[in-house]
Amino acid sequence: MSGSHNIPFLDLVAPHRELKAELTEVFHRALDTAGFIGGPMVEELEKAFAAFCTTSHSAAVSSGTDALRFALMASGVQPGDAVITVPYTFIATTEAISQSGALPEFVDIDERTYNLDPQKLRAYLQTRCAKDSSGKLISRRSGRPVSAVVPVHLYGQCADMDAILDIAKQYGLIVVEDACQAHGAEYFSRKQNRWFKAGSMGRAAAFSFYPGKNLGACGEAGAVTTNDAELAAKVKMLRDHGQARKYYHEIEGYNGRLDAIQCGILHVKLRHLPKWNEQRRERAAEYDRLFAGAGSTIGLPFEPSWSRAVYHLYVVRTGDREGMIAHLAKAGIGAGIHYPVPLHSQNAYRALKYSQGDFPVAERVAGEVVSLPMYPQLTAEQQRRVAEEVLRFARLETPVTLAAGESH
């Protein structure tokens, strides 16, 4: 197969080629005014992104990791707290928790959606936490007060927020959404009988504009969204050395601003995001169709009726993941693994003293997932070829976990 026929896992060149004139214009505008930090380009993006997320506020920051850290700090998480999240996410989720001074604690994911399992969250709060004499909820595992929960909208699909918000309310927990992969994803609340955008349901939410995300900067970038004006103001202080007025520092903050050029670039790209997300959904539906006959040999993404996912990634499962990736590589097709090792098994978190077997679903899923090429510019012909190779491989393989109980 010649190089020109290769299908990359991700194509970041094509979308930037299409937008080159508009993006260059942003750079000229910044050069002409030397407005590099703060100013109208930042405020315009914040307004537009808040409108996109249907929140009243957004604050542009230097990365998704900073967005999550600032969101946690501004929503009231205190040093010494415990914050609950999933072990099956990118490490930035737990880095942000640690950097806010809190300790991450894990609850396992749902086998079909790969997101926080609300039943397991409830069980954890009921059986692994207890109220102390002052009424504070204390984790038995760490002895720390549990103050927040961070559901991650993985692969571009919202976690089951009705249930999570209910449980959080019952236990007095702050909810901060990790929406870093979910720009524009939607969730249908059965409770409120309407659709919600990712990033509009918790106290605050964090988005990443890392280049490969559904909305990506030409560099590092992120944003916090919230419906709480005070919280937004706090994030804006945290990102700018704790000051709301130059050289008057209310708190000790950080250098976590997003520069004007990146804001201008993101504003240009934001106009294309609804179309790009629609194209991702179409491509996901096309993969679903192409794989429809594969039976139990490959596991497909599951989109509940209450979800409109934006397919940051299209992830399938197979009993022989390394085999499938090697087969695809030989056919000139790129693939990824998101994520091969759950966080509780990472060396970085040995001190948390979790063991293999603590989160069986995350562990099983982490051993079986393969992310296939997924981007708005992916052509029907490319998708047909990807599917052909996946199916060719799958038919050679004996299903392992996915067809458990089946005898041959």
Binding residues (CB under 6 A) for ligand PLP: these are: 63-65, 89-90, 92-93, 152, 178, 180-181, 208, 210, 222
* Least distance CB 32 / ligand PLP (angstroms): 29
Q: Please give the single-letter amino acid code of residue 182.
A: A
d(CA 65, CA 75): 15
64/319 with CB nearer ligand PLP: 64
* Least distance CB 192 / ligand PLP (angstroms): 25
70/393 with CB nearer ligand PLP: 70
* Least distance CB 224 / ligand PLP (angstroms): 12
Residues β-bridged to residue 365: none
How many residues are recorded in the chain? 408
200/214 with CB nearer ligand PLP: 214
Q: Are 183 and 310 in contact (CB under 8 A)?
A: yes
Q: Are 45 and 270 in contact (CB under 8 A)?
A: yes
65/383 with CB nearer ligand PLP: 65
164/390 with CB nearer ligand PLP: 164
100/382 with CB nearer ligand PLP: 100
Backbone angles phi, psi at 106, to 5 degrees: -105, 145
* Least distance CB 80 / ligand PLP (angstroms): 23
Helix (H) or strand (E) holding 3: none
* Least distance CB 147 / ligand PLP (angstroms): 19
User: Considering just the CA atoms, what is the radius of gyration of the chain in Å?
Assistant: 22
81/178 with CB nearer ligand PLP: 178
Give residues with Cβ within 8 angstroms of 311, minimum separation 6.
Answer: 155, 156, 280, 281, 283, 284, 301, 374
The b-or-e profile of 192-229 (16+ CB within 10 A means b, else e) is eeeebbbbbbbbbbbbbbbeebbbbbbebbbbbbbbbe
Residue nearest to ligand PLP (CB): 64
* Least distance CB 69 / ligand PLP (angstroms): 9
* Least distance CB 210 / ligand PLP (angstroms): 4
Pick from 351, 339, 309, 357: which is nearest to 93 by CA?
339
d(CA 72, CA 85): 12
